């Protein structure tokens, strides 16, 4: 028996058995479950919700987004993201006066895990919440199709209410209703956002607009051309002590172009052609005829393009023009 126990074969068997026992003790499941593991740390970003009184508003915050760090284990980590969907980070500023305040952060809707907030507090700036009525201005951008022009662009509201921090509301000069007419041939109506802007058109953030949009109607006309013949010419702004001794020719022809609706309203009786003799002295002068027209109508041509005016002292006779 002693000789058997001292044999190499027996010792090899014993060593193999001990190795198997050691491997099982290290790698066997713990109680039949998952292998033991240490804690798992996960971080989630959240916007900070600042609760304020109804007459106050937040005009600034140093950390609008913070991180919530959660400590869990390997068993629960797979469900953690879904559980964190209902979490809200809150800073309570109710009852505070205008100015800067440092507030601690809390969370709501947190699942039963260990957590921390980084940073644990935020600094906010509070201002009075005010409202004001602001004018609405329609701004037309782009070019309509060739042969068409924008006659009028108007909104169904003349003003709207702007609400927010006092410093922001005071910067709002008007509400811009921007409408694009690129390639358009006919009239149309479109719902357009009302954008709060400064006097130079820069956007103003942090304010609410009520109503937030307006219905803008854009009217387009075809461009037409029309001619008027034998329109009488008058002389304006003749210097004191002078008179018009001659006017050649005393009638001219005029061609205008513009929207059909505006051009159709023109009549020869309403058209006054004149030349401006302001600052001119005695002698003969070649002057360009002029006419005051609506902004939407432009002069396409005169015939002739100049009128000759002779100015002489009043003592030589009666004036022909209007001083």
- The pLDDT tens digits of the residues spanning 124-145 come to 999 999 999 999 999 999 999 9
The pLDDT mean for the chain works out to 88
Domain 40-128 has CATH 1.20.120.1200: no
The more confident residue out of 231 and 25 is 231
265 contact partners, CB below 8 Å, separation of at least 6 = none
- Report, as an integer, the average pLDDT of 193-201: 97
Res. 288: pLDDT tops 60: yes
The percentage of the chain sitting over the pLDDT mark of 90, rounded to a whole number, equals 76
pLDDT of residue 3: 46
**So where are the chain's domains?**
40-128, 130-222, 224-316
- Pair 127, 167: CB distance under 8 Å: yes
- Report, as an integer, the average pLDDT of 9-29: 49
Indicate the pTM of the whole model.
0.60
CA R_g for the chain = 43
Domain 224-316 has CATH 2.170.120.30: yes
Res. 297: pLDDT tops 60: yes
Q: What is the pLDDT of residues 217-249, one digit of tens each?
A: 999 999 999 999 999 999 999 999 999 999 999
Would you list the DSSP string of 91-144?
Answer: EE-TTPPSEEEEEEEEEES--SSEEEEESSEEEEEEEEEEEEEEEEEEEEES--
Q: At the top level of CATH, which class does the domain 130-222 belong to?
A: mainly beta
68 contact partners, CB below 8 Å, separation of at least 6 = 43, 44, 45, 46, 84, 87, 89, 107, 115, 116, 117, 118
How many angstroms separate the Cα of 131 from the Cα of each of 77, 127, 164? Answer: 48, 13, 7
pLDDT of residue 18: 52
């Amino acid at each position: 028996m002693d000789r058997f126990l001292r044999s190499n074969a027996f010792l090899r068997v014993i060593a193999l058995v001990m190795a198997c026992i050691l491997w099982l003790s290290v790698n066997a499941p713990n109680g039949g479950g998952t292998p033991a593991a240490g804690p798992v740390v996960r971080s989630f970003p959240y916007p900070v919700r600042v609760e304020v009184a109804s007459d106050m508003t937040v005009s600034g915050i140093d950390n609008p987004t913070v991180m919530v760090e959660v400590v869990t284990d390997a068993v629960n980590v797979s469900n953690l993201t879904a559980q964190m969907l209902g979490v809200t980070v809150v800073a309570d500023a109710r009852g505070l006066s205008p100015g800067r305040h440092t507030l601690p952060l809390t969370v709501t809707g947190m699942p039963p895990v260990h957590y921390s907030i980084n940073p644990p507090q935020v600094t906010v700036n509070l201002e009075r919440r005010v409202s004001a009525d602001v004018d609405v201005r329609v701004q037309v951008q782009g070019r309509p199709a060739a042969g068409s022009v924008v006659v009028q662009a108007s909104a169904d509201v003349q003003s709207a209410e702007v609400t927010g921090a006092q410093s922001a509301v005071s910067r709002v000069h008007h509400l811009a209703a921007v409408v694009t007419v690129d390639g358009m041939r006919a009239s149309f109506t479109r719902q357009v956002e009302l954008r709060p802007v400064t006097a130079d058109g820069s956007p103003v953030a942090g304010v609410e607009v009520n109503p937030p949009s307006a219905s803008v109607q854009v009217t387009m006309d075809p461009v037409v051309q029309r001619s008027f013949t034998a329109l009488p010419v008058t002389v304006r702004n003749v210097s004191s002590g002078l008179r018009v001794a001659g006017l050649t020719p005393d009638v001219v022809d005029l061609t205008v172009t513009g929207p059909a609706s505006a051009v159709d309203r023109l009549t020869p009786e309403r058209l006054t052609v004149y030349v401006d003799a302001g600052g001119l002295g005695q002698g003969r002068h070649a002057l360009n005829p002029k006419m005051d027209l609506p902004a939407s109508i432009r002069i396409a041509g005169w015939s002739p393009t100049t009128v000759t005016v002779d100015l002489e002292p009043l003592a030589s006779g009666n004036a022909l023009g209007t001083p």
